[in-house]
Structure 1
Amino acid sequence: MGIAVGSWAAGLALASPLGPAGPPAVGTVISALTLVPLIALAVQGPPTRSARSRVVERSTASSTVMDEGDSHTTVV
Structure 2
Amino acid sequence: MEIQHESSSRYSGTDTDSIFTVGNGIPSGLISLPLRYMHSVVEMANLKDVQQVIDVLVAFVESVGPDDEFKIKI
The structure whose residues are more often helix, as a share, is 1
Query: Could you tell me the TM-score, scaled by structure 2's length?
Result: 0.28
Query: Could you tell me the TM-score, scaled by structure 1's length?
Result: 0.27
Q: Highest relative contact order (Cα 8 Å, sep 6+), 1 or 2?
A: 2
